[in-house]
A and B are shown apart, each in its own frame.
Chain A
Amino acid sequence: MTTSPRYVGIDLGTTNSAAAVFDGDTVTLVRNAQGGTLTPSIVRIDGRGNLLVGSRARRYLESDPDNTRLEFKRLMGTSQEVEFPASGQRRTPEALSAEILKSLRADIQEQFGFVPDYAVISVPALFELPQSAATSEAARLAGFRRVELLQEPIASALAAGWSADEAIGSWLVYDLGGGTFDVSLLETRDGLLRVVGHDGDNFLGGKDFDWAIVEWALGELKAREGIELSRANPAHAGAIRKLKLAAEEAKIELSRASSTVLAVPALVQKDDGPFDLDLELTRATLERLCQPAIERTLTVCRRLLETHGLAPGQLSHVVMVGGPSVMPAVRKLVGEGLACALADRLDPMTLVAQGAAIYAATAGLEARTQEIAVSEGQKVWLQYPAMSSDLTPHVVGRLVETGRSAPSQIRMVRADGLWESPWAPVDDEGAFVITTSLIARRPNVFKIEGRRDDGAHVHLAPSTLTIVQGLTISDPPLSRTIGVALANDQVRVYFERGAPLPTRRTFTLMTVEGVAKGSRESLLKIPIVQGEHDEAHLCRLVGTLEIAGEAVKESLPSGSEIEMTLELDRGGRLSARALIPAIDQVFEDVAQLLVPEADPEVLAASIDAARERIASLRADAFRRSARPQLDRLSSLDASLGDLEADIAAARGGDADAAQKARRALLELDAHLEELELDRKWPEIDEDARDSLIWATSWVAEYGLPHEQRLMSETAKSLEKARKDRDPVELQRQLRLISRLGNTASLRHPEAWTRRFEHAASQVGNASDIVKAQALVKEGREAAAREDQGALRSITQKLWQLLPSDVEKRRLSYDSGVR
């Protein structure tokens, strides 16, 4: 067995997967039994329960699609199981991913002669916690003892940076996968690679190009042959699947040719026998079909650059990653759109796996855990970066045993004999620190030597160590902010985006309501959310810690402290722990760490609601001639079309489309909320002005001197809040002004008559109309005899029957903490 280190990286992709092994010097791609470096992420289980993976499974995609499953990565983290009807088996997406990983693991053993126990697996940058947790679970099922997850763009960046010659400045990784799009802005400086930021669309990818071709083909089919097929109809699912496979092939074909034929024999049964599809598709048509999706990716890129104060022209280059990025149309539009050169010489299909392997080295994740025979000698613990961008990193060590036979000085000698460190003293803890010197871009082997005070040489174990010099990135950064949703719909942020993993934080929260011991109804929820929004309901719920009345040792009063700790390991797995000091009890089970189900009917209802909101906002923006709002609303309206297509597909049984729609709806909600706030301002402002005029006149006429003074001060504060466009402050001042106005107006001799008339005019809305009408009658009589006291009492009773204006939406996932 070779003694040089082995680091394994795996790209577990939606369409294809790949693995690579790094030995500190070169990255070698793992070849499968068919000799390819890409293993299709496809699993088949036949009627006898035999399981096939990769290319061998792919052969059955057309002939037996029901038992040959692909793209299950998109379902990772949901409770959706994948069915294999022939054998009657059901498998979770994790179990299917585990089959792919097992196959890659076997390929590594075949090619390199060892079974990896440790590895780095890449995940899309915008994967949420449940999806990351599911990936770790898949690795466990596949037999890995420990894995770390790395975001795909960082993996590509590492691989690209590793092979580039001293790239300096800012650059982009444009990663268009089968189902996801990620873009990362990177910066290389002093040999250190930094992820400046990333953005993306969790549900945009090559698959969208395929669907665009399918939709086009369906349109042609209807126009030419009068055959109507629909994604929404489960009966057409087989034909659609065939069509999509053909579309995928045609798309790949058009990367080389300028035109191709979309051919599907026996696509459907017509009255006169089977119908064979035969459609010509040109590259120009493909470009036209794909342009909207590519434009969407460019919008995301520009948004990322803008966030970081960069213009497209300022980039040094763009690295293209992922299968669809090979398409000439994509390369052309991206090059033009971002006004910079595209990096060539890099294999977009395997770059991620290569980067993951390099990352395994920086994390010191040696793939083999079998005991490597330790030589005899004084045992010493060593700590050093397995890979370092630094040319002179430190090696820290500590002797396992100290005593008379232990060395008092240590030094290191580089294997090429061209460098040796001075003798470093061993301190009273048995520790020493040595500054090394590395040769750039090479694995550097060092010999460690020890000597005693009397000059005698001491043999140390281990006696050598290897440090690879190269581009590094030390910790996997968190892709999305994580926090706890509070009862007031705010988020208590625990970990910000970019925080290095592993990480752990504790905050003290307070219960909003009590939890009664033994009560079934009494349940305190602590929702954990992920996302960049300030309002909890706009973030995604990724888990809930529940404290049930049945579980508490003692009843908890409201306002009880809860010390809530969240912890994320390097693989992005979340654990939560709530300690309640008052009863000295700990709760640890995080429930529901799953991507929520997306019921098509619920989604459809949400779309209708969104459409209504857009219409109302648009009418309002139109009235105000607010051009920017109108533009934003138009683009939101346009996105509804895509959403509907997804929901139609979800109704046809496409769980992936349902998830995509769910997320898109959340984003849409966030946009609409921003726009609504924009709209509300003029209303609040107008309200403020009206109230000010109304209250000023009353206070001037009937106010006491101190009220008049207060009125003029409040009016000033109100003006300031209006000037600062601060809605919260404005509402406060408004409340005070209304109060002053009300107080003064009540001194008017006919105050209660007026109030009564106003209440009487709304009697149609009363909760008990008969009672309200009786009160109105009584009130009229009181008004006639000018009995202000009776009128007041009647008006107050009337008010109680009118609907309250307090309407609270339960938005923050029913959070029970603040």
Chain B
Amino acid sequence: MSARPWTRAGRRRSALALVAAALLVGGLVGRLGAGGAIARRGDPALVFAVLMVLVTVGLTLLGLLITLRGAFGWPLARFVLIPLGLGRPAAYLARHANQWQRDPEGGAALAEALALLRRPRHDPAAAERIAALVDSVATIGAAGITASALASASRGDRDGARELLLGALEIEGTKALPFPQRIARAWLIADAAERGRWRRVVELADARGPALPASARLLAGAAARFAGTHSPTDTGLWILWLLSPGHKDSRPLLERAIATPRVLHRRPDLEEAPARGGGVDELGPLPSEPLPRALALHAHWIARDPLHLRLVPSRLGDLCRAWDEVHRSGAARRQAEARAARLGILGQAEAIVERFHDEVAADLADLSLRSGVAIAGLVDPPGELSQRAIFRVRSQLLEGVEELAETMESRTVDKRALPAVEEWRAWSELRRRYERAGALGGLDLRRLMFPQVHRSACNFAVWLWNERKETGIAKPIFRWLLTEAEAVGDEAAIDLQRRNLGVKGG
């Protein structure tokens, strides 16, 4: 398959091609110039001397070319070829550039990926070349992961790209190069800005790491205004705007930022966001009977587009309490019994009501999961249906984590390796689910999940480190395990991960 141009054999081929080209140049000069006349005169010493000169000139030219390519290849790729969307030559130059000596394949992949993002449409062939380059790397680094992520983004998989780029920021070791991390951070900032997550933009900009591109700094400045955190002055914003390229595109952003009042001190986080559109107050008069009331509330919240669901805790609390009241008052039971008698299934009424209550709990659990609002603590003490919903949420979260941990474990045991980027994705997803479960279920749930996740992830990372030499991605796993072990207070795990990081150069 021709999709792996940057293998070792490929590199040898390109070197040979350069030598041949130099000799050819030398040869041609010789033929056209003095060489021909001297040869005709037939003085062997002179012929030899002239040939020597020509070879020397050829080799010097070659050396010069290689030096130029090493020193100026990357700037040429970065500032000319990538903006033009010329992925292949950019990748070639990156591959041989001094700047990418520590991760040539990663650099080539990243150059190709950046050029791909500049093209008007996604190009599957380019994505394949990127995948092949990333696969050919012995040890994956930040550049490889960033390139894979940008290829995913180009394909339209924004969530996948976000996850990988967050990972690229965590990569450690010799391959944690500043340029890919800078690109990763800039992309994440653009992504968060587009989704209006201004605090996230500020967080990303404030995080430790290589300097950001000017456009990212402008976004961060504006974001600070919108998020109401400590933000630059109007003049500061003007300067950021002047420094960043594409003035026309960024003008509306600048104007919007300047129009937003500057906050000098960070606004304290409110306990709960104020009701903003779609609160219970907007529902109009609610029925007083428990079942119709709960159904009216239920329909109101279920109707929300899941992508935009913003269910504030007190609203979910209202809904849960309304359903608990349905259960406590036996409203659904009474109605079902009356109707069951008419339908001739009186004996089954109880089972049907039970199923109805279970469906309600399933919906409440789903609302809680989608909105990221935990039910526990909202209703105190929780009634029957709230309890069922809490239990469902907990089981679903746990199952989600356990499923991935088991898959990871069995793959580790069977030594079924995936490409390094895929390994990183697998880990990122496990971690994301764990953290999400932790956010909803609290420390208790983290303690409950940790033993299994620790065992699976630790074995996985050891396999990555010892046998596959993927130190760049194994180390962040150990580091995360250590942080989490400290949070849940697992002494043995703390001890083990300290040693893992210590022994392995942490």
**Interchain CB contact under 8 A, B489 and A557:** no
- Secondary structure call for the B interface: helix
> What's the interface size class on A, roughly?
35 or more
> Are A487 and B407 interface neighbours, CB within 8 A?
yes
In the bound complex, residues from chain B placing their C-beta under 8 Å from that of A512 are: 407
Classify the secondary structure of A's interface with B: loop
A406 → B minimal CB distance (Å): 42
Given A581-B156, A582-B155, residue A558 in contact with residue B425 (CB < 8 A): yes
CB-defined contacts of B419 to chain A, threshold 8 Å:
514, 516
Q: With a CB–CB cut-off of 8 A, which chain B residues contact A732?
A: 398, 402, 448, 452
Render B330-357 as a binary contact track against A, CB cut-off 8 A, 1 for contact: 0000000000000000011000000000
Q: Does A575 contact B (CB under 8 A)?
A: no
Closest Cβ neighbor of B394 among chain A residues: A729
For B448, what are the chain A residues with a Cβ–Cβ distance below 8 Å? 732-733, 735-736
Query: Which of B76-84, B124-132, B279-287, B316-324 sits within the interface?
Result: B124-132
Q: B203: CB under 8 A from chain A?
A: no
Cβ-based interface call for B383 (8 A): no
Asked if A583 contacts B425 (CB within 8 A), the reply is no
A554 and B123 alpha carbons, distance in the complex (Å): 10
- Evaluate contact between B451 and A736: CB separation under 8 angstroms: yes
Complex Cα distance, B495 from A553, in Å, reads 47
Contact of A735 among B348, B421, B451, B489 (CB under 8 A): B451
8 Å CB contacts to A: which residues of B138-167? 148, 152, 155-157, 160
Given contacts A732-B398, A804-B413, contact A743 B490 (CB under 8 A): yes
**Contact call B160/A559, Cβ cutoff below 8 A:** yes
With A488-B403, A557-B421 as known contacts, state yes or no: A710 contacts B447, CB within 8 Å.
yes
Q: Are B418 and A735 in contact (CB-based, < 8 A)?
A: no
- A743 surroundings in chain B (CB, below 8 A): 490-493
Q: Please, what's the 1-or-0 string for A491-525, where 1 marks a CB less than 8 Å from any CB in chain B? A: 00000000000000000000011101110000000
Complexed CA–CA distance, A747 and B491 (Å): 10
Instruction: Report A-chain residues with C-beta under 8 Å of the C-beta of B422.
Output: 513-514, 557-558
Contacts of B105 in A (CB 8 A): none
Residue of A555, A735, A806 ringed by the most chain B CB atoms within 10 A: A555
B410 CB-CB contact with A under 8 Å: yes
B3 adjacent to A739 (CB under 8 Å)? no
A742 pairs with B418, CB closer than 8 A: no
Q: What is the minimal beta-carbon distance from B189 to any residue of chain A, in angstroms? A: 23
A309, A488, A736, A804: most-surrounded residue (chain B CB, <10 A):
A736
- C-alpha spacing A746/B494, complex, angstroms: 13
Cβ–Cβ contact B451 & A583, under 8 A:
no
A48 within 8 Å of B by Cβ?
Answer: no
What's the least CB distance linking B473 to chain A, in Å? 15
Contact B451 A514 (CB under 8 A): no
* A738 located at the interface, meaning its Cβ lies under 8 Å from any Cβ of chain B in the complex: yes
Chain A residue contacts of B1, Cβ below 8 A: 518
Contact with A along B224-249 (1 / 0, CB 8 A): 00000000000000000000000000
In the assembled complex, the Cα of A581 lies from the Cα of B406 at a distance in Å of 28
Q: Are A554 and B124 in contact (CB under 8 A)?
A: yes
Asked whether A560 is an interface residue with its Cβ less than 8 Å from the other chain, the reply is yes
Shortest C-beta distance, A313 to chain B (Å), equals 16
Q: Mark A697-712, 1 if CB is under 8 A from B, else 0.
A: 0000000101100100
Q: Tell me if A808 counts as interface (CB < 8 A to partner B).
A: yes
- Residues of chain B with a CB closer than 8 A to A540's CB: none
Q: Are A554 and B347 in contact (CB under 8 A)?
A: no
List the A side residues contacting B358 at CB < 8 Å: none
Q: Determine if A517 and B155 form an interchain contact, defined as CB atoms under 8 angstroms apart.
A: no
Q: Which residues of B contact A573 (CB under 8 A)?
A: none
Distance of B396 from chain A, by nearest CB (Å) = 12
B50 interface residue per 8 A CB criterion? no
Determine how close the nearest CB of chain B comes to the CB of A185; give it in whole angstroms: 14
> Min CB distance, B372 to chain A, in Å?
20
Query: What CA separation (Å) do A105 and B426 show in the bound complex?
Result: 59
Does B384 sit within 8 A of A, measured CB to CB? no
Most chain A beta-carbon neighbours within 10 Å: one of B3, B410, B451: B451
Bound complex: CA A710 to CA B487 (Å): 13
Chain A 527-566, CB-CB to B under 8 Å as 1, else 0, gives 0000000000000000000000000011101111000000
For the A-B complex, the count of residue pairs with Cβ-Cβ distances under 8 Å equals 90
Q: Chain A's nearest CB lies how many Å from the CB of B446?
A: 11
What mask results when residues 426 to 462 of chain B are scored 1 for a CB within 8 Å of chain A, else 0?
A: 1001000000000000001001101110000000000
A73 CB–B CB distance under 8 Å: no
> Which residues of A, 394-449, contact B by the 8 Å Cβ criterion?
none
Contacting residues, chain B, for A818 (C-beta < 8 A): 403
Q: B409 on the interface (CB 8 Å rule)?
A: yes
Closest to B494 in A: A743
Q: Which of chain A's residues have a CB closer than 8 A to the CB of B447?
A: 710, 736
| CB-CB under 8 A for A806 and B492, given A554-B155, A582-B157 | no
Docked CA distance A305–B410 (Å): 44
In the complex, chain A residues whose CB is within 8 Å of the CB of B395: 728
Write out the residue numbers on chain A whose beta carbons fall within 8 Å of the beta carbon of B452.
732, 735
CA distance A178 to B292 in the complex (A): 55
CB-based contact B418/A739 at 8 Å: no
Determine the chain B residues whose CB is within 8 A of the CB of A736 once the complex forms.
Answer: 447-448, 450-451
CB within 8 Å for A806 and B425 given contacts A309-B348, A514-B419, A742-B492: no
B426 touches A583 (CB 8 A): no
Contact of B410 among A514, A739, A806 (CB under 8 A): A806
B303–chain A nearest beta-carbon distance, Å: 21
- In the complex, which residues 771-809 of chain A have their Cβ closer than 8 Å to any Cβ of chain B? 804, 806, 808
Inter-chain contacts of A738 with B (CB < 8 A): 451
Chain A residues, CB < 8 A from B347:
309
Most buried by B among A558, A706, A747: A558
Report the bound CA distance from A806 to B425 in whole Å: 23
**Separation of A560 and B495 alpha carbons in the complex (Å):** 37
Q: Determine the chain A residues whose CB is within 8 A of the CB of B398 once the complex forms.
A: 732
Q: State the CA gap A707–B447 with chains docked (Å).
A: 11
- Among B124, B403, B418, the residue within 8 A (CB) of A553 is B124
Inter-subunit contact A557/B124 (CB<8 Å): no
Residues of B within 8 A of A746 (CB): 491-492, 495
Q: Which interface residue of A517, A557, A804, A808 has the most chain B CB atoms within 10 A?
A: A557
Tell me the bound Cα distance from A259 to B191 in angstroms.
88
Evaluate contact between B489 and A707: CB separation under 8 angstroms: yes
- Asked if B155 and A739 make an inter-chain contact with CB atoms under 8 angstroms apart, the answer reads no
A309 and B491 alpha carbons, distance in the complex (Å): 55
A557–B409 touching, CB < 8 Å: no
Q: Are B410 and A808 in contact (CB-based, < 8 A)?
A: yes
CB pair B127 A555 closer than 8 Å: yes
How long is the Cα–Cα vector from A733 to B160 in the complex, in angstroms?
Answer: 33
Chain B residues with CB under 8 Å of A728's CB are 395
Chain A neighbourhood of B451, CB < 8 A: 735-736, 738-739
| A700 shortest CB reach to chain B, Å | 16
Q: Are B489 and A554 in contact (CB under 8 A)?
A: no
A residues 734-758 near B (Cβ < 8 Å) are: 735-736, 738-739, 742-743, 746-747
Q: How far is the CB of A309 from chain B (nearest CB, A)?
A: 6
Chain B residues closer than 8 Å to A488, beta-carbon distance: 403
CA–CA, A312 and B152, complex, Å? 62
Tell whether A704 pairs with B155 under 8 Å between CB atoms, given A558-B426, A738-B451. Answer: no
| Complex alpha-carbon distance, A561 and B80, angstroms | 36
Could you tell me the distance between the alpha carbons of A309 and B444 in the complex, rounded to whole angstroms?
43
Nearest CB in chain A to that of B159: its residue: A559
Chain A residues with CB below 8 A from B425, complex form: 557-559
New A-B contacts (5) at CB < 8 Å, excluding given A557-B422, A742-B492: A309-B348, A557-B148, A736-B447, A738-B451, A746-B492
27 contacting pairs across A/B (C-beta < 8 A): A488-B403, A514-B418, A516-B131, A517-B128, A518-B1, A553-B124, A555-B127, A555-B131, A557-B152, A557-B157, A559-B425, A582-B155, A583-B155, A704-B489, A704-B491, A706-B489, A713-B444, A728-B395, A732-B448, A736-B448, A736-B451, A743-B493, A746-B492, A746-B495, A747-B491, A806-B413, A808-B413
Per CB-CB distance, the 7 closest pairs between chain A and chain B, nearest first, are A739-B451, A554-B124, A743-B492, A808-B410, A735-B451, A743-B491, A806-B413
